[in-house]
Every structure is written in structure tokens, then in C-alpha cells.
Amino acid sequence: MNATDISFPNLGIYLQNVPKSFHIGPITIALYGMTFALGMILGLMVASQVAKEFGQKENDFWDFAIRVIIGGLIGARIYYVIFSWEYYKDSPLDIFKIWEGGIAIYGGVIGAFLTAFIFTKRKKLNGFVLADAAMPALILGQAIGRWGNFFNREVFGKYTANIFAMRLPLDAIREADKKPELMAHVAEGENFVQVHPTFFYESVCNLALFGLLMLFRKKRSFNGEMCLWYFAGYGVIRFIIEGIRTDQLYITGTQIPVSQVVAIVLITVAVVGEVVCRILISKDKLPEILKVGNAAPAENSKEASKEESKEEPTEES
């Protein structure tokens, strides 16, 4: 195989000269970055529509979205660097080479949620409603962005001979990805590895989760429920696929994949949150901020009600 080839032999697909980037004059544009940008754009289009359905003001949503994207990107890079510090401590300038790959979705989620929490507190908006509106966009962006890993020849799994098996030239993949258990399947004279295309598996599963979130978005019982559905759905997806990948990030000093631990935490939070909110609904004790239709925090709603009552004309006696 040539260094730029990618093939799926069991599907009869043989791609030649698959680039990692292209040039427009003196400017080099990485396809990795383009796929992420495309995911963000399409995700924002979806989120904008859902936010309107949930009663959000357009200006509030765009202010929220811009900040969350920036916070998410920073969080994704910091997370990856922290759990790959053995490499970056000797090459600190590589920390800023984000176009070469190396961002972690869970770090992006954490960064986005921290940014969203700060923003909604300062603007006195209902963060649960905005989070619900953002969830379909987030998972759609993840589904599309995973194809950046295809162009970068990364985020693949262990050896496989299944129908989706993907072949990558040894010259095209990072040295860090040439794990002994993978190289054990490279026969003498072969210059390629045959692996699970885990980026593809995750992309398809993410699209399925996106479809479910969009299908049931008007059936949520409380603000924040779509967020819990995302936690549970993506947690299950990531836990399973992480077990196949060869480029796992481990908790320092252990062989425990950090993404699987985070996945378990998210699933637990989702299940507990769903059960608790359902119980509160059955007892008619659900906090105002969680009631569907309330797009502002409870204190703001009370203030608004007071203002409205002041403005109501009184009958003359």
C-alpha cells in the first residue's frame, strides 16, 4: 500500500491518495479541522432551531453558542494533553499544534458545560433549557467531526477481520499507535495494519443518538432531560467503543481507560437524575427551573410575575 491509501478490503473499497490537507495558495487547510468546522456549523443550525422551539431568544442563544464552542475546544485540548503528558512534557510546543489531532471529546463536553454554567449564571438564563437545545447539536457535531480522525489515520481499534476492517499503511500512522498487540498481526513483508474503524462506529452510533434526541425532543418531561439522555446514550456508546480502541488515555499510573470511567459516571448521573426528577414530578415537587416551558431561572420568573402584576390595570371603583 502507498502511504496515502486507505482501504476496506472486505467491502471492496480501495481509496487512493487520500489527503490529510490541501492548499489554497500559500495556505494549508487540514481536513481534520474542516470536518470539525463542518460539524460545528451544522450543529449550530440544528441548535438554533431547537432553541427557538424551547422559547430561547436568538441573541441569547448565539452568545451562549459562541462561548460554549470556545470553552469546549479549550477543554478538549487540555484534557488530551493532561492524559498524554508523558509525550507533551518533552515537546511542550506541540501542545498548540491542534491541527495535527489530539483533542478529547469528554474534555470538550466538560469545557462546554463549565462555560455554559458560568454564562447562564451571569446572564440569569435557564441553563437546563439551553443545555437541552444544545444536546442534538453536540452529538451531531461529534458524529461529523469523527471523520477528521479518518483523514488523520487515527482513533482506530485493534486488529480485526470483520466486514468493516480497515487497512492503513504503517507509514501513515503515528508510532505511538503501533502497539505490540497490533503489530503482532502484521505478517512479514506487509506494510499495513488491519483494524477496527472505531471512528466510523462512533460516528454511526452518534448519528443514531442524534436522531433519537430530535425525535423525542418535544416529549421531554422536564428541563435538562435531553441532557441526561445525551449523558446516558453517549456514555454507553463511548464505553463500548473505548474497549476496542488502541489509543486509549489512561488514568495516571494505571491501565484504566479514563474515558470508560467518565462514561460510567455520566451513565450513573443520567439514571439517578432521571429517577429523581420522575419522583419529584409524581409528587408535584419539581423545582420551577426544571418545569418545561420555564426558560428563565425561578427567581427571574418570580420577578417577572411581580412586574406583570404591577402593570395590570385596576378596575375603577
Concatenated DSSP letters of 124-149: T--HHHHHHHHHHHHHHHHHHHTHHH
Q: Is the dihedral of CA 238, 239, 244, 245 positive or negative?
A: positive
Q: Does residue 314 lie in a domain region?
A: no
Asked whether the beta carbons of 31 and 100 are under 8 A apart, the reply is no
What's the CA angle centered on 282, arms 279 and 285, to 5 degrees? 80
Q: Does residue 312 lie in a domain region?
A: no
Q: Does residue 317 lie in a domain region?
A: no
Provide the residue type at 316 as one letter.
E
Q: 163 vs 3, 70, 156, 183, CA distance in Å?
A: 23, 38, 15, 20
What is the per-residue pLDDT for 101?
62
Q: What stretches of the chain show up as alpha helix (H) in DSSP?
A: 31-53, 58-82, 85-88, 105-123, 127-145, 147-152, 180-183, 198-215, 225-242, 258-282, 298-311
Q: Does residue 248 lie in a domain region?
A: yes
What is the per-residue pLDDT for 147?
94
Distance from C-alpha of 39 to C-alpha of 121, rounded to nearest angstrom: 27
Domain count, the chain: 1
Q: Does residue 101 lie in a domain region?
A: yes
Segments forming the whole domain that contains residue 151: 6-304
pLDDT tens, per residue, the chain with 317 residues? 888 999 999 999 999 999 998 888 888 888 988 998 899 899 889 988 998 898 888 778 788 888 888 888 898 888 888 878 777 887 787 777 776 667 777 788 888 889 988 988 888 888 899 889 989 999 999 999 999 999 999 889 999 999 999 999 999 998 888 888 899 999 888 999 999 999 999 999 999 999 999 999 999 999 999 999 999 999 999 999 999 998 887 887 888 888 899 899 999 999 999 999 999 999 999 999 999 987 766 555 455 444 444 544 544 43
Asked whether the beta carbons of 121 and 113 are under 8 A apart, the reply is no
Q: Does residue 298 lie in a domain region?
A: yes
Q: Does residue 1 lie in a domain region?
A: no
Distance from C-alpha of 247 to C-alpha of 154, rounded to nearest angstrom: 8
What is the per-residue pLDDT for 298?
52
Closest CA to 213 of 139, 130, 292, 126: 139
Closest CA to 51 of 111, 115, 120: 120
Q: Does residue 112 lie in a domain region?
A: yes
